[in-house]
Structure 1
Amino acid sequence: MIFSFFKKKKGKNIFTVGFYNLENLFDTNDDPNTLDDDFTPTGFKKWSMKRYKRKLYKLAKTISEIGDESTKNPPVILGIAEVENEKVIEDLISAEPLRDIDYGYVHYDSPDERGIDTALIYQKSNFEVLYSEPITLMIFEKDGRRDTTRDILYVKGKLNNEEVHVFVNHWPSRRDGQDETSSKRVKAAETIKEYMAKIDATVESPNYIVMGDFNDGPDSESIKSLMECDHLYNPMEKLLSPERGSANYKQTWMLFDQIMVSHNLLNYEKGTHSFAHANIFDEAFLTEFKGKFKGTPYRTYAGRKYIGGYSDHFPVYIQLKYNG
């Protein structure tokens, strides 16, 4: 199901904005400052240059097709998560399916102990970066130690000459339990709201796009907290069902990957963008094709076992109509 405000039609006035968790896009080099040893040729996952290049090609192919059914054009903006460094982003946008697209990117190294970061790639012909910074997420364990998780990436830019404020997120995981870690994700929501309040003080009716792997679904405490600011509309909550989501855990679909937009992107005004529709990019080629996991994301690894897929998440995207 595609959730749509406008009748979908092909044309150059429709633009795709997406998000994709790339599932551990590491290079093959050992970084002594991070816990990346598993993703080296001698690590237990035997992460070789051949496997790395295969993954780059598959991810680039996927990105090139997100939303292209209606636009004939890959995303103008794409947030990405689980990238190790600038090199892997450069290798990704240089891979064959994307190398003819004039993509730029925004990336900062985060304090995550595994060395995985968020980033934003964008088509230079449609998006101009005006300002960017990493927003530090200060969260702590019960014993007072800081949990060095991913920063929130903030990018202020012009999309087809309209100013937008983009936040790319990869919130703390549920590895230690959903309830035990919930407060960390609530803190992430509060951090974004605080930053928005600063923008609101100087910008009239700012256009917000908040995207990411939130490690929480639309009905969770953290996402509800984020929506309390009254700025945002979440079209993704209409997409989750028992048969569909962006990731699957123990045969249960989840929609941790989401994109929210500010309410003024729902309005029609000449020279601006309007929200058109939202969807999960879960094409058949991205799924397991047989067995008990049939239809779920075709991932690169299942535990220690290399299976050579794409990612353990499907991309999600929205499309904006430019009102020329």
Structure 2
Amino acid sequence: MANKFYFKKKNTNHYTVAFYNLENLFDTKDDPRILDEDFLPDSEKRWTRKRYEKKISKLGTVISNIGFTKTRKAPILVGVAEVENKKVLEDLITTKHLKNKNYGVVHYDSPDERGIDVGLLYQKQHFEVISSENIPVLVDNQQGERDYTRDILWVKGVFNTEEVNILINHWPSRRDGAELTSYKRVAAADKNREVVQQITSENSEAKIIIMGDFNDDPTSESIKNLVRNDLFNPMEKLLTRYSGSLNYRSQWNLFDQIIFSNNFHKYEKGKHSFSDASIFDKDFLKIYKGRYKGNPFRTYVGRKYLGGYSDHFPVYIRLKHNE
């Protein structure tokens, strides 16, 4: 019993910050403003209320467990991508494993044609929102027309006793080819740099966390363009031939990343410092047999319903609150 008590006490000042692409978390109602026809009860995918409730229950189980073995608590901040609206996040935080965690939600509708957005879940007893806004990412397609993609969500708040800025992203996809679409993700990186400069021009010591599904790896031009000298990417060492946050054509990628300002490496009393980073790829999140064994256990493959969690693994960092 003494050892157990010591273990808990040792970790009380450690907190998890996570990011999770929830893979098409749509409700079951038709929204005429967006292309959500695939996710309706009478669609080919047969996206029923039962399947929706099963998915949010599973996602709630995942989120409650991210970093738990190290901190003994659910993550304080969870950036999310691929959510249809605020209501699906409100439903998510009332599922069995999250309803007692006292999560709040920050969400704005993005101009994305499919209606998928980013959002933030935060534990109210540890994080107080000061302000929030959505920042458009303006990019054109190959024909010179605007490509409507996800906005950046910028949330400023007090994390325990420290002010922190959080930028949540879901950058343009590689659907038309990684090289052909690279310029769009470079533009998204530039927009994040603009916000970073705006934040630091007002406070040179500001703490900043940038997270998201960047649709690029840590070694890609866009990410290198984002990180430069004033930010740090702990995810760079996590991508290997055998592990990542998603798998495409038998190759691992680490599109899901959490990047932060260098001042998280400093030890200051009353503030947070970086401890470690990881991919949350527990066995229960994986396909357990067959050709795709070890890959994320997803909800659908094409129109075929599998009943899994997501096609991405969550990623997270652990911060120590220096007391």
Superposition TM-score tier, normalisation by shorter sequence: over 0.9
Contact 1:27–1:84, Cα closer than 8 Å, also in 2: yes
CA deviations 1:258-281 (Å, max 9, x no partner) are 001110001111111000000000
- AA in 1 matched with 2:197: A
Pairwise CA distance, 1:143: 2.0
Deviation of residue 161 (structure 1)? Answer: 1.5
Give the counterpart letter for 1:300 in structure 2: T
What residue is the counterpart of 1:52 in the other structure? 52
Q: Which residue does the alignment assign to 1:3? A: none
* Distance in 2 between residues matched to 1:179 and 1:171, nearest whole Å: 14
Deviation for aligned residue 1:9: 8.7
Root-mean-square deviation (CA, aligned residues, Å) is: 1.0
Q: Which runs of 4+ in 1 moved over 4 A?
A: none
What does residue 238 of structure 1 align with? 237
Amino acid at match of 2:225: S
Structure 1 equivalent of residue 263 of structure 2: 264
Cα distance, 1:199 vs structure 2: 1.2
Aligned to 2:28: 28
Secondary structure, counterpart of 2:310 in structure 1: coil
1:306 matched to 2:305: yes
What is the number of residues matched between the two proteins?
316
Preserved CA contact (<8 Å) 1:10 1:70: no
Q: Do structure 1's residue 181 and structure 2's residue 181 form an aligned pair?
A: yes
Instruction: Provide the residue aligned with 2:289 in structure 1.
Output: 290
State the SS of the aligned residue for 2:70: helix
Separation in 2 of the partners of 1:10 and 1:139? 47
Q: Residue 319 of structure 1 aligns to a residue in which SS?
A: strand
Alignment pair present for 1:252 and 2:257: no
The secondary structure found in structure 1 opposite 2:190 is helix
Listed one character per residue, the Cα deviations across residues 80-121 of structure 1 (whole Å, up to 9, x for unaligned) are 000000110000000111011100010000000000000000
Structure 2 gaps of 5+ residues are 1-7
Aligned partner of 1:159: which letter? F
2:276 aligned residue: 277
Aligned mates of 2:88, 2:60 — CA distance in 1: 12
Name the counterpart of 2:213.
213
User: Which amino acid in structure 1 is aligned with residue 189 of structure 2?
Assistant: A
Give the match for residue 79 of structure 1. 79
Query: Could you tell me which amino acid in structure 1 is paired with residue 122 of structure 2?
Result: Y
Query: Percent of aligned positions with the same letter in both sequences?
Result: 57
- Rounded to whole Å, the distance in 2 between the matches of 1:198 and 1:309 is 40
User: Residues of 1 paired with 2:22 and 2:46: CA distance?
Assistant: 18
SS of 2:166's partner is strand
By how many angstroms is 1:10 displaced? 4.3
Counterparts of 1:215 and 1:244 in 2: how far apart (Å)? Answer: 16
Question: For 2:38, what is the secondary structure of its paired residue?
Answer: helix
TM-score by length of 1: 0.96
Deviations for 1:211-231, whole angstroms, at most 9, x for unmatched residues?
Answer: 000000000010010012x22
Equivalent-residue separation in structure 2 for 1:10 and 1:279 (angstroms)? 20
Distance in 2 (CA, whole Å) between partners of 1:142 and 1:24 is 26
TM-score by length of structure 2 reads 0.97
